[in-house]
Amino acid sequence: MRAVVFERYGGPAEAREVPDPRPAPGGVVVRVEATGLCRSDWHGWMGHDTGIVLPHVPGHELAGVVEAVGTGVVNWRKGDRVTVPFVCACGSCGQCAAGDHQVCARQTQPGFTHWGSFAEYVALNHADVNLVAVPEELSYATAASLGCRFATAFRAVVAQGRAAAGEWVGVYGCGGVGLSAVMIAAAAGARVIAVDTSPEALELARKFGAAHCVDPSAVDPAAAVRELTGGGAHLSLDALGSPVTAAASVDGLRRRGPNVQVGLLPAAAGAAALPMERVIGWELEILGSHGMAAHAYPPLMELVRSGVLRPELLVTATIPLDAAPAALAAMGTSPGRGVTVVLPGAVARG
């Protein structure tokens, strides 16, 4: 098969021929029809994830068709249309027994713990625990956007953040995760304030339901959020992941509000100096959100199927596999607007 491979962190990546994967017992091999290009892939390429073994194939947001099935798989057959959370659970640890697959103690992650989906085929573990059926009416490009950014934003806004109609929600960073959060919070009836330095990203945020947009290069974003909301957001999300956005997200809350940290903060960026005196005095909550378990997908899928949520609107570009290395490298300086989806089959059939 063809796959995007890099042999050193931050070094050149290229699309080339590599051996086809085989399904492990309990696992499957999926023919990748679409895979999202995510800032987490860039973090992995840069060496911010210690579990990656070189040479490596990135990619973790995927949708496709089951191509081969390992021994012991019960629920899936060749030809099934599927997607998968970026956190693949083992199904048997204590966290999995409690239903908390997204924090599985023995989790695997395509594109991080093993070769990922910037390829024509990808192997996935524990298929009966992790695969999610993709309805026929959902395109592969749309389904690929669900596995990381959209599902992560859905759980962050709905489960962790507990967004409610009429409340103010601040979203810091309007890349794929942030725009997903804007759309989901607005669909829940919340009033959203989107924060980003990019006019294009803020324009998309308005399109997806943001009531107000704030450019932090022009004003103090936390102060602006407090002024617009008359005291602070009921819920904040740092969807970018930087010391500056993490601190602003907390600082923009009203008393007893929750802050959900979604964006990764690599060690190289330095520690986030959170206003802990405000956290204590105002009884703020600091929460993490790490993907979403496969068994939690049905409510999300129903909202997508019914048209309440429109993740396909987030897909702003599709590219062939050969273009993925350059697009991956560019995320360090230009994260992009919306979601870019790689179509591996475009190379094979081109």
For the chain, the domains span 2-148+292-349, 150-288
Q: What is the pTM of this model?
A: 0.92
Among 130, 255, 249, CA closest to 196: 249
What are the tens digits of pLDDT across the range 240-265? 999 999 999 999 999 999 999 999 88
Residue 50's pLDDT is 80
Do residues 332 and 26 lie in contact, with contact meaning Cβ atoms separated by under 8 Å? Answer: no
Residue 269's pLDDT is 62
SS3 246: helix
What are the tens digits of pLDDT across the range 174-226? 988 999 999 999 999 999 999 999 999 999 999 999 999 999 999 999 999 99
CA distance 227 to 20: 56
In this structure, are strands 285-288 and 258-261 parallel, antiparallel, or unpaired? parallel
Segments of the chain assigned E as strands: 2-6, 13-17, 28-37, 61-69, 81-83, 121-124, 132-133, 168-172, 191-195, 212-214, 235-238, 258-261, 285-288, 315-320, 339-343
Phi, psi of 199 (to 5 degrees): -60, -35
Q: Which residues pair with 214 in a beta bridge?
A: 195
Phi, psi of 27 (to 5 degrees): -115, 180
Q: Residue 160: count other Cβ atoms within 10 Å of its Cβ.
A: 20
Instruction: Tell me: pLDDT of 149 over 80.
Output: yes
- Mean pLDDT over residues 104-133, rounded? 97
Extract the tokens encoding 311: 């993740």
Phi, psi of 212 (to 5 degrees): -140, 155
Do the first three CATH levels of 2-148+292-349 and 150-288 match, i.e. the same topology?
A: no
Helix-helix angle 199-207:176-187, to 10 degrees? 30
SS3 144: helix
Residue 16's pLDDT is 97
Regarding predicted confidence, which is higher, 46 or 51? 46
- Mean pLDDT over residues 326-350, rounded? 77
- Mean pLDDT over residues 320-340, rounded? 87
Regarding predicted confidence, which is higher, 111 or 270? 111
Report the top-level CATH class of 150-288. Answer: alpha beta
Among 109, 111, 84, 148, CA closest to 13: 111
Phi, psi of 81 (to 5 degrees): -85, 125
Which CATH number applies to 2-148+292-349? Answer: 3.90.180.10
Residue 336's pLDDT is 60
